[in-house]
A and B are shown apart, each in its own frame.
Chain A
Amino acid sequence: MAIDPGTDAELSDDALELFVEGADWESVVDAVEDDHITVNMGPQHPSTHGVLRMVLDLDGETVTRLTPIIGYLHTGIEKNAEVRTWVQGTTFFTRMDYLAPLFNETAFCLGVEKLLGIEVPERAQAVRVILMEFNRIASHLVWLATGGMELGSTTMMVFGFREREHVLDLFESQSGLRMNHAYIRPGGLAQDVTDDFVERCEALLELLPRKIAEYEDLLKRNPIWNDRLRGIGPLDADTATRYGVTGPLLRAAGVPFDLRKAQPYSGYEQYEFDVPTETAADSYARFLLRIEEMRQSMRIIRQALDTLPGGPVMVADKHIAWPSQQSLGVDGIGNDPEYIRHIMGESMEALINHFKLTTQGFTVPAGQVYVPVESPRGELGYAITSIGTNKPYRVHVREPSFVNLQAADVMARGQMVADVVVVVASLDPVMGGVDR
């Protein structure tokens, strides 16, 4: 129970230190004079969504302070990106928030495109929107699954992950990977969608509403779910704003702030959808809100599929465009016979361009941009600085999980120890995003 000097949890010099293993809590109870104890939770704990460590100050069973301690999953992605080309950047950033990889890719690419001053073809924008919204549903399903599991509902866990797998199958069919796709590239998409893309999306749109209604039936009036969630982890709008909390938590407090409406990107202004809000500002309101958000996502996907334009999925400028005309050849991806014939047999210039583009990449004009998108957890912003080279000078990511985690303290104060699990679950932090 020793506390690192690096945390702001205070432990006075004469504090009693006890090490507890297994079922010898009685010795603790006997030894503690007043009711104040400090307990360490994590970093390896089944309910902390990854390697999150929390130091809890307790008065009896009531939490008086929660100190999150992070950094266990720090991989230096921002630093790494400074020595990679702009296109290679997507393969790194997609690994930050691993439950919302397509949002990371899109936000980074939007920033690069803003610096380049290029407009992405409409088809690529629509495919980005469709995949992002499916990604939002997949992310919320994981939230529902893990949140359910932490409260003992293993049924919900199996259900959530089961339907998420269908969404991941769609991503795999388009990008080749279930997660960490690097499918969205500066200038458009790595390659066009497959012929059965619309059909696959339609099948999901048929399946998911039924399943989501099923989860709602299972949980909405479930007495245990209600008892554990209602009134737990309250966070009103003013406090949320002070702590920089965005996304479902802010909307559950009644603020209809959604970057898809406020600052539309990738053509979100064309689609009709609502920004759901709740007023209760507790964990149960966040559950209702996320369920409704999944429905709104499907509304957007429906419209985007109906109006899916044809045409290219990559900008025409050959200095920037990743050779996206590649297709599935007999020996795997990327071996489009037409393209190979062109660069190997017809045009030396095309071969040189291909070689330069794939090794040293393109240069991006000097400047500084900040591009936010609405990720499943809130405002995901990319602050990109370029000095005109083929590599970013500095990329800083405003990760919603990282920012929202600060509010865990105010949400947990005055609640029981067992509710800490609910508080963290309703925050939905992804440690890959928190620690980057």
Chain B
Amino acid sequence: MTRPSVPTRTHGLTRAALPLEAIAARVTAHFPNVTTDQAYGELTLHVAPDELVALLTFCRDDEELDTALLSDLSGVHWPAGDHVIERQASTTGWPEYRVSREQGVIEVLYILRSLSRNHWFRVSAATPDEAPRVPSVTGVFETANFHEREVYDFFGVEFEGHPNLTRILMPDDWIGHPHRKDYPLGGVDIAYKNDKYIPPPHERDLREVID
């Protein structure tokens, strides 16, 4: 495996954290196609998969951002269709959730952290859920290796350029990707006594989860 070149660093918290606005401004100055949003005091950068490796390399090597650590890499599946949650909106006063998607997506989320400046932010790369493909960032951060295998295992995302993209937590011969919302819950037939198959209980109905 080729070792990515990382500039020599001084270790420890040496500088003050950049405000989220400054991070967003610095990134969008170099990557005009990146959109940003802030919620719950957290910054998210939305990037197209083809710009992902360039963006992460920039964040790692940039003097100002200096995000030497890829803290986390995970996925979330947002299937196509209308999703409206208005349950209990009258009692809690929280806005209802209303999202409609023509194309289901899998969002691959990267948490980048700076050890010298003590700031962190999230990078989100969305890919269609029918043939999810995202370039591998193992060449930028070696720690992405296990994480990407996990996201492949759970969501079926093909990380292009990954040195060894195989299942990591599920058995090697498993069929399907269990964290996708279209994965049937209770879909594994279990033969009970006298070869009886008992359907999964109502609570495991997928519509309960995504409806």
Contact = CB atoms under 8 A, between A and B. Distances in A.
Q: Do A and B share a complex?
A: yes
Interface of A: 4-8, 70-71, 74, 76, 78-79, 82-83, 114-115, 237-238, 241-246, 254-257, 262-263, 319, 362-363, 365-370, 372, 379, 381, 383, 385, 387-391, 393-394, 396, 398, 402-403, 405-406, 435-436
B143 A406 contact: yes
A221 to B, nearest CB: 29
A363 B93 CA distance: 11
A383 to B, nearest CB: 5
Given A262-B118, A367-B39, A244 B143 contact: yes
Interface residues of B, number: 59
B71 A387 contact: no
Nearest to B85: A388
Given A255-B12, A389-B87, A263 B118 contact: yes
A2 to B, nearest CB: 13
A370 B124 CA distance: 13
Nearest to A383: B74
Contact of A256 (B12, B72, B145): B12
Interface in B1-59: 4, 6, 8-9, 11-13, 39-40, 42, 44
B190 interface: no
B92 interface: yes
B71 A381 contact: yes
A382 B188 CA distance: 28
A88 to B, nearest CB: 12
A321 to B, nearest CB: 14
Contact of B146 (A366, A379, A406): A406
A398 B111 contact: yes
A398 B85 CA distance: 28
Contacts of B194: none
Given A83-B185, A242-B4, A406-B142, A370 B72 contact: yes
B76 A370 contact: no
Contacts of A245: 143
Contacts of B11: 237, 254-256
Given A7-B166, A243-B142, A406-B146, A381 B9 contact: no
A372 B9 contact: no
B189 interface: no
Top 7 nearest A-B pairs (CB, nearest first) are: A244-B143, A396-B74, A8-B164, A398-B72, A388-B97, A6-B172, A388-B85
